Structure 1
Amino acid sequence: MKEAIWLRFQGSQAESIQQAIENRGEFTATVARSEVKPKKHQVCLVSLQYSEMYQIGDVPDFSVDYVGISRSGSLVATDEKRIKVSNLISAGRIDVQSLVDKMPKRHGCRIPLGFGAPIRLPPKLTEELLGAIQGESQTVRSGMPGIRSRLAEMGRIELNPEGGLEVFERDAVITSLETFGGTNFRKAILQGTQPATATTPSFLNRLSHYDVREDTQINFDAVTFPGFKVSHAEIFGAVQVVNSTGQQLTILNCNRQPLEHTLGVDLIYYSHNFRSFVLVQYKRLVAESGGKAVYRPDSDRNYAVELEKMNKATEDLGRLPSTIRSVNDYRLGSDAFFFKFCEARQKSSLDAGMVSGMYIPLGIWNQFAGSDQARGPRGGLRIDWDNHPRSFNNSRFCQLLKEGWIGSSAEQTERLDEIIEGTLAARRMLILATTSPGESRSDQLRDDYGRFTDADDPLGER
């Protein structure tokens, strides 16, 4: 075990930390970078001492209350760095003096016996102290393998940050959760996602702490699109979640082949509230010499065929009327197809963030691709973070999708059934996400202060 951090809080600060743990299962704090030297990720011990009014019964003066994982964030002052502590396991208020008594004297004499500033524990001392804690607490003993596996996962990602198709599957699932319930809802569900293993290649199946269902248990009546029903044989993974208003979201991973053999990922989102489809085609920005991430359509053997199909579908849909029978039928535009360009950067099971990327409506993409702006010095078509047309970020796209401002009209939705069936028939991976019917729902895209929070806040409070 590598070095650990020990955080020790007293009084009102301890009460605030305890409240955060109870409400969110995690908290943020600041430490002195020069003294603690926080790592990107490491074990964290937490000690809390409340004011007298919060003490009940005979409790130790100084105890270890939680064991978790800390992750290093940004600088908040010249020598202060923010850390986030999550995956917390309750140790049951273990008296530190009793731990010292059970440790070899050469290690026990180095353990602090009172509160103070955050400290760093060297590797040997970390192992001895954790061993003593596990000897006193069954919950910590049972939870340590999970902490170790998550630390190992983060270490692997640090060595090899580039990911494969599973990164886009994850983003499609997270986009659905963000759109359906907002930032806090997404983070609550993703908290505690299981690390990737050989037996859990599907991201949906890594949400084992939530309501993951076997294919035969899914109520497919809830995921029936107008005139179209998903076959059991097409389901690779599935999950159903319910928000605070009782509305249900069903997400399906339709996969004809193992992940490594599929040609790509699509996200197809259907909203019963707005009778609308939105279809997203993922494209990978690949790092080239100099580290710049670029997508070059000429190097993508699938691009021409996919673009032709999307344009043909858009042309067919454009011939259909767009009758506005109610306010929910209104759209800002006629585009139902979007590209998402993003880098396939792996994220750990502790990270609830979305994949940074740009959503570009098909109509804008066609205009851009036919312009000189899209051409490189040698005349090749390219897109990168510095050279791209107008686009939506994660937050804006999810908000427009959630509120029905984008997507197909009711008449177009019926025609899109045929397109979806054709996509399923192809040898590729597809994420289907559908909401249950219902008109009455609150605006869950807003936070407690009435703001729509940014989805890319790696160590934010929300």
Structure 2
Amino acid sequence: MATFEERYPGEGALWIPEVGFLLQIKADRLDELEADIHVNEICSQGVQQIPVALRRKWMLCFICTDGRSVTHVARSVIYYAAESGRDKLEIWKLKRLRAAVRISSIKKGLEGAQAWRASRALDAGGTLSPKAFELVMDALKRIDASAHRVASGLISRKRPSPELGRTNARMNWAYQRDAAVTALKIAGISEERLKAAPQLNGAEMTDTTSIFDDEGDMRAIEDILILRDLDEGDPDWKFVKSQQYPARTFENGATKLTIVLANKLDLERQLGVDLIYVNETLGAVVFVQYKMFEGDDGEKGYRPDPQLDREIARMDAAAAALAKVAEDTTCDGYRFCPDPFFFKFCTRLLTHEKTGHVPGAYVTLDYWKRLALDPRIKGERDGKILYPETLGRRYITPSAFTDLVARGWIGTSALQAKVLVPFIKDAMKGKKGIVLAVESKIPPDPTDVDSGRRTRKPPKPRYPGKRAKVIQI
């Protein structure tokens, strides 16, 4: 159980608020809260329910007693619901501003594309989203430096420890692990079978290449039989089969999943991670590129860079080769979406501590190209920036994505699959980490004489543990 100091950090302890909260109460109620803090160090105030996702997130609380001006700031958090059906806002480290700051002045000082959201949040009261909170703090700094010093004085940022400095290695570890988890989910295998920790710890930082990083698992990948009908003389296919990389094989019933981590650079030098999922049974191939929203909760957005332009150019070249292949008119060859290239935009990548997917949104390459031309992602100085909320509901969730791939509704057709081998080869030679996952069926044992028959299990006893009645004739 967390200690009082962990739940309500004091002076000098790490405390970085993720969101803000505008609390509007009467002056006499504020006097009661101040009295509670004087005796108990904390106080509580019932407020309207907030989204469950914002519970347990630290909030910098702005307190207003006349409906017009902020007079106090404090640290706050919501752990539990109140008995009244509302939420219980816990408040501590209450500070009075030297002079009240009018809310209308803060609204006038707001700047940026999201200023209207922050202004609307100030009108409504309650929680301020990460972006709205950031804009309010910036506005406060412009209009009243003294008030900003008091508010920012409640924020305590510790210098990160040395093992957290190599962010690129930690990021690529998290990418690799999420790609492997996604592959397991698609194959219908429990992600609990993957023992890799969600985050890379300091002891594992040196020269780490992959989440399967031990020499005992280096292997040639010829035994996974990707696209078995390829000509043995194909030079690209020979290159793919001859490589030795860390790998794991997972089995579940008649399904075998082989995950190969195809990159020899250490994690610090890799330029992100791609997932290539090959479903040999359905003849489908799907490519996923990972991109990270900046900020703990994605509030700083994703900014396209020249690296993305080069990656899209390679995908366009592969798409041009796919377009030349005859259409697969079989039922198994039917796809909802013929575009096999996807982006996964991740949030909370470096703070994710659960065994499942990293939170994120999947979009196709075609949709990204439309979005890149849309005014909604226009940033400052003709730049582009994508926020999680910009996507709205127009994205594929991780659970929906894994289901669509598992059932063969998206990806290449069987006729197109072999065309992608040169693309796979180029990807394996690049600087990005490649998680190559191949799902296949386990062939029946030829020595088993009953392997081709359907067997019927004996019926379960109606009353387990009870001896069957013997009837004598």
Q: Tell me the TM-score normalised to structure 1 length.
A: 0.54
RMSD of the alignment, in Å?
4.0
Q: 1:386 is paired with a residue of what secondary structure? A: helix
Q: 1:383 is paired with a residue of what secondary structure? A: coil
- Count of residue correspondences: 286
> Paired residue for 2:208?
201
Alignment partner of 2:287 out of 246, 261, 279: 279
Alignment partner of 1:242 out of 233, 245, 251: 251
CA 1:438–1:373: 2 relative to 1, 3 Å: farther
Q: Deviations over 1:143-165 (max 9, x none)?
A: xxxxxxxxxxxx98998896421
Alignment partner of 2:340 out of 317, 336, 339: 336
Query: C-alpha distance in 2, partners of 1:364/1:357?
Result: 16
State the Cα distance separating 1:374 from its structure 2 match.
2.5
Q: Deviations over 1:28-74 (max 9, x none)?
A: xxxxxx9xxxxx9xxxxxxxxxxxxxxxxxxxxxxxxxxxxxxxxx9
Query: C-alpha distance in 2, partners of 1:377/1:392?
Result: 28
Query: C-alpha distance in 2, partners of 1:161/1:285?
Result: 18
State the Cα distance separating 1:293 from its structure 2 match.
3.0
- 2:177–2:196 CA contact under 8 A, matched in 1: no
- Rg (Cα) greater in structure: 2
Matched, 1:352 2:355: yes
CA 1:195–1:258: 2 relative to 1, 3 Å: closer
Counterparts of 1:129-144 in structure 2 under 5 Å? none
| Unpaired runs of at least 5, structure 2 | 4-42, 44-55, 57-77, 84-159, 231-236, 445-473
> Paired residue for 2:131?
none
Counterparts of 1:244-393 in structure 2 under 5 Å? 245-287=253-295, 292-297=299-304, 300-325=305-330, 327-343=331-347, 345-346=349-350, 351-388=354-391, 390-393=394-397
Q: Deviations over 1:383-435 (max 9, x none)?
A: 11111372111111111011111000112111111111111122321110001
CA 1:324–1:375: 2 relative to 1, 3 Å: same
Identical counterparts, % of pairs: 28
> Paired residue for 2:183?
176
Instruction: State the AA in 1 paired with 2:259.
Output: I
> Paired residue for 1:47?
none
Name the structure, 1 or 2, with higher relative contact order (CA <8 Å, separation 6+): 1
Q: 1:239 is paired with a residue of what secondary structure? A: strand
> Paired residue for 2:424?
420
CA 1:320–1:380: 2 relative to 1, 3 Å: same
State the Cα distance separating 1:234 from its structure 2 match.
4.5
> Paired residue for 1:49?
none
CA 1:158–1:426: 2 relative to 1, 3 Å: closer
CA 1:75–1:223: 2 relative to 1, 3 Å: farther
Query: C-alpha distance in 2, partners of 1:308/1:194?
Result: 32
Deviates more, 1:255-264 or 1:376-385: 376-385
State the Cα distance separating 1:368 from its structure 2 match.
1.2
State the Cα distance separating 1:275 from its structure 2 match.
0.5
Instruction: State the AA in 1 paired with 2:268.
Output: E
Instruction: State the AA in 2 paired with 1:308.
Output: A
State the Cα distance separating 1:278 from its structure 2 match.
0.2
Q: 1:173 is paired with a residue of what secondary structure? A: helix
Query: C-alpha distance in 1, partners of 2:264/2:400?
Result: 32
State the Cα distance separating 1:335 from its structure 2 match.
0.5
Counterparts of 1:222-241 in structure 2 under 5 Å? 222-226=224-228, 227=230, 228=237, 230-231=240-241, 233-235=243-245, 237-241=246-250
> Paired residue for 1:122?
none
- 2:163–2:205 CA contact under 8 A, matched in 1: no
Query: C-alpha distance in 1, partners of 2:79/2:225?
Result: 45
- 1:234–1:256 CA contact under 8 A, matched in 2: no
CA 1:315–1:195: 2 relative to 1, 3 Å: closer
Query: C-alpha distance in 2, partners of 1:406/1:219?
Result: 25
> Paired residue for 1:404?
408
Q: 1:302 is paired with a residue of what secondary structure? A: helix
> Paired residue for 1:214?
217
Query: C-alpha distance in 1, partners of 2:298/2:328?
Result: 48
CA 1:202–1:344: 2 relative to 1, 3 Å: farther
Matched, 1:164 2:171: yes
Query: C-alpha distance in 2, partners of 1:261/1:391?
Result: 30
- 1:279–1:337 CA contact under 8 A, matched in 2: yes
> Paired residue for 2:439?
435
- 1:273–1:328 CA contact under 8 A, matched in 2: no
